Amino acid sequence: MQHAIIKYKKIKTFFIFLTAFLLIISCGTKNRVPTSQLDTPQHHTDNGLKLLGQEKYVDARKSFELAVQLDGKYSLAYTGVALANIYTANYDDAWDNLKTGWKYAKTDEEKEFAYVSRIRYFTQSKGKKKWLEAAKDEFDEAVKINPQYAAAYYFMGLAYKAGLEFDLAGQMFTKVIELKSGYMEEADGQLKFLQKVQRAMPGTTTGKQIALVERLTRADAAALFIEELRIDALYKQQAQKTFDTSVKDPQKAAGKPVKSTAKDIAGDPLKKDIEGILEIGLRGLENYPDGNFHPQELITRVAYAMMLEDILIKVSGDNTLATKFIGSTSPFPDLSADLPYFNAAMVVTSRGIMEPKDKTTGEFASLSPVAGVDALVTIRRIKEELKFN
């Protein structure tokens, strides 16, 4: 009898634990009940994708999560969450989301979306040493499923662009336009950008990298003048035309020159370029009175114009350029002729080195930032003006 009671208790305990386990499992996988006709996984996912396009990443993530609540195995939603995390630099979670999205991917649409999202992951994170090759592998898999999938070509184009493979990027964007099935406007914009890069003809890796910069910094400008314009060689070429016959103190002449530097550039990847520009001495790219260079400070169009004017004066030896347009009438509706930087704006625009920001209104937009690709174009024009290669 005692044995039977013990056996009964064991069986009872087993069933209690089994019931509890099943309840936990069922609660864990239970989907939220829709509250309206639009409360569907597809609607929330579509809305999330629209929000991604508007760069509203937090709101996009919320939309994708609502879709997951309704269907815990909805592949597109998990992949959507991954994209929101990618564009907020939450790469570890993004990769986990991508794996979950792939786990539940059953249809070709879901698999294509997963492959292209992984292209976007590698392009943004650059986590792997050979990230561009990894992105290309994902692209190859996507077009195996659908050779006409415009998104694959568009985002692979962005990957090539980020990898400085501008010719291959152009081929991808051209294919998007040929397909006429999506991303056409975006691809057209990218092609126009690449055409501008080709006109600028950056000759260095640094130049290509700066071409992708939306807002030029002081460090970027120093790198462009040193590496792309080769301003040190340009100034040296001009100096060779001038002979200094003055008597110099032998001790001072033999002294070791003090290296020009700044207090805040120790860890800057462009430190060498910054020190080079400080050594040369260029108006607008000097150290501040506190001894700092402020490498990440953005450069305005008017500040850049003054730098270019200084280069033209020093290389040409024509000091009259510094006052050439003083007293002239301003052709710019937003730039008064009595401003101290008016002359610089006139010098560079009259020679076609810089252009008005808005060709329709003629506005110079003095305080607007300078895009990297536009800065490169001016470097090319300066070289042509000075016949320097």
Helix residue ranges, H only, 54-165: 57-70, 75-86, 91-103, 108-125, 131-145, 150-162
Residue 245 covered by a domain: no
Does residue 65 belong to any structural domain of this protein? Answer: yes
58: Cβ contacts below 8 Å, ≥ 6 apart = 84, 88
Q: Which amino acid, one-letter code, is at 85? A: N
Is residue 32 assigned to a domain? Answer: no
Could you say which of 184, 200, 216 is where a domain stops?
200
SS3 percent helix, strand, coil of the chain, rounded to 5, is 60, 0, 35
Note whether 106 and 128 are same-domain residues. yes
C-alpha closest to that of 238 among 315, 163, 143: 315
* Amino acid present at 321: L
Q: Which domain holds residue 303?
A: 205-240+258-386
Task: Tell whether 163 and 232 lie within a shared domain.
Answer: no
> What is the per-residue pLDDT for 34?
72
Residue 381: closest CA among 162, 206, 165, 228: 228
Low-confidence ranges of the chain (pLDDT < 70): 1-29, 239-258
Measured distance CA(212)–CA(208) in Å, rounded: 7
* 71 lies in the same domain as 167: yes
Contact (CB, 8 A) for 297 and 268:
no
pLDDT at 13: 56
User: In this structure, is residue 15 part of a structural domain?
Assistant: no
Same domain, 333 and 381: yes
- Structural domain count, the chain: 2
Q: How far from 325 is each of 205, 241, 316, 348, 359, CA to CA, in Å?
A: 37, 27, 17, 11, 21
| Token pair belonging to 171 | 């081929």
Instruction: Based on the fold, state whether residues 218 and 350 are members of the same structural domain.
Output: yes
Instruction: Tell me if 205 sits within 8 A of 180, measured CB to CB.
Output: no
Residue 29's pLDDT is: 52
- Note whether 60 and 179 are same-domain residues: yes
Task: Identify whether residues 143 and 116 lie together within a single domain.
Answer: yes
Residue-wise pLDDT tens digits, 299-355: 999 999 999 999 999 998 999 999 999 999 999 999 999 999 999 999 999 999 999
Q: Given this model, what pLDDT does residue 273 score? A: 97
* 152 shares a domain with 89: yes
DSSP state of 226: I
The answer to whether 154 touches 183, Cβ cutoff 8 Å, is yes
Amino acid found at 96: D
11 belongs to a structural domain: no
In terms of phi and psi (left: phi > 0; alpha: psi -120 to 50; beta: otherwise), the region of 31 is beta
Cα→Cα distances 344→270, 371, 388, Å: 27, 19, 21
The pLDDT value given to residue 258: 56
Nearest in space to 211 (alpha carbons), one of 173, 220, 219, 189: 220
Whether residues 87 and 162 fall in one domain: yes
pLDDT at 119: 98
332 and 226: one domain?
Answer: yes
Residue 67 placed within a domain: yes
- 27 in a domain, yes or no? no
Does some domain include residue 5?
no
Q: What is the pLDDT of residue 236?
A: 84
**Which pTM was predicted?**
0.82
- Give the SS3 label for residue 243: coil
Asked whether residue 144 falls in the same domain as residue 215, the answer is no
Residues 196 and 306 occupy one common structural domain? no
